[in-house]
Amino acid sequence: MATATPKRKAAKKKAAKRPASKRKVAKKAPSRKKAAAKPATTKKRATHQTKLDQQIKVISMEIDRVEREGKKVLKEAQARYDKTVKQLHAERARLEKQVGTLATKSELAYDDVRKGIEAAYRDLSKAVKQAYKHFS
């Protein structure tokens, strides 16, 4: 069996010093004195800021208008929905009443009443499907 030989640590080489002329020197930040020397830039900046503020106000008004219109549409849709559901409940109640009277009819009247009930059921089923499609 082979004996594990200890690994040698690699010796770090010392970085060679560069002459002062070749050293990288961090650049200084530009002084603030130059910004004060150009008042035209400050005026432009203020003009742009005012213009942007006005644009934001216009957009805010548009967003508010869209929100109001959306709420109005939602209220109208809710009213239509409530009306439709109320009508469907009334039709269902009428159909249940007709089915309840079916047992008391004679044999000749039974077929006529049954056909009327089936037609009413088809109409109600169609109305429910249309309402579901409209509101979903």
Give pLDDT tens digits for 73-99: 999 999 999 999 999 999 899 888 888
Query: For the chain, which residues make up each domain, given as ranges?
Result: 47-135
The pLDDT value recorded for residue 68 is 94
Q: Residue 5 — very low, low, confident or very high, per pLDDT cuts 50/70/90? A: low
Model confidence, pTM = 0.50
Neighbour count for residue 81 (Cβ, 10 Å):
13
Neighbour count for residue 95 (Cβ, 10 Å):
15
Give pLDDT tens digits for 26-57: 566 555 555 555 556 888 889 999 999 999 99
